[in-house]
């Protein structure tokens, strides 16, 4: 069964204090690994899709990396506006259907000024 585990559950950082969020996964053939940001009361906001081990993508202060077993979301010099829940999801290779994402439970990030 496809499974995603995110750690830590919650993370509190000071503004400017860099850190990494972890996403470990087991999936029967990875089609893609997704990172989303979710603010309270809102839908997930797309950040990145990674497809193969060794791939890296960056967006502002965020950088996502992928290995065969896990993905990391590195946050460099975070600001208070980066506070949110970060969700990781995997999409398995399937005969039919492309949108079945299996999500982790997320990491709640709080960045204090």
Partner 1 sequence: KAGVTQTPRYLIKTRGQQVTLSCSPISGHRSVSWYQQTPGQGLQFLFEYFSETQRNKGNFPGRFSGRQFSNSRSEMNVSTLELGDSALYLCASSLGDFSGNTIYFGEGSWLTVV
Q: Are 86 and 106 in contact (CB under 8 A)?
A: yes
**78 is a contact residue toward partner 1 (CB under 8 A):** no
What is the β-pairing status of strands 107-112 and 10-14? parallel
- Member of 14, 28, 29, 43 binding partner 1 (CB under 8 A): 43
**44 is a contact residue toward partner 1 (CB under 8 A):** yes
- Member of 73, 87, 109, 111 binding partner 1 (CB under 8 A): 87
**29 is a contact residue toward partner 1 (CB under 8 A):** no
CA distance 41 to 43: 7
- DSSP E strand boundaries for 28-67: 30-38, 45-50, 56-59, 62-66
- Member of 55, 57, 76, 102 binding partner 1 (CB under 8 A): 102
**98 is a contact residue toward partner 1 (CB under 8 A):** yes
Return the range that interacts with partner 1 (CB under 8 A); candidates 9-17, 35-43, 58-66, 76-84: 35-43
Give, in order, the Cα–Cα distances in Å from 44 to each of 29, 70, 96. 24, 21, 24
User: How many binding residues for partner 1 (CB under 8 A)?
Assistant: 25
């Amino acid at each position: 069964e496809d499974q995603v585990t995110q750690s830590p559950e919650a993370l509190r950082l000071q503004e400017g204090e860099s850190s990494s969020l972890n996403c470990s996964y087991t999936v029967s053939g990875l089609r893609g690994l997704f990172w989303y940001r979710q603010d309270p009361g809102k839908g997930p906001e797309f950040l990145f899709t990674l497809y193969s081990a060794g791939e890296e993508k960056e967006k502002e202060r965020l950088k996502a990396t992928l290995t065969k077993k896990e993905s990391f979301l590195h946050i460099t010099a975070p600001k208070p506006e980066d506070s949110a829940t970060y969700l990781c999801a995997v999409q398995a290779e399937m005969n039919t259907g492309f949108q079945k994402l299996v999500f982790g439970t997320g990491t709640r990030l709080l960045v204090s000024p």
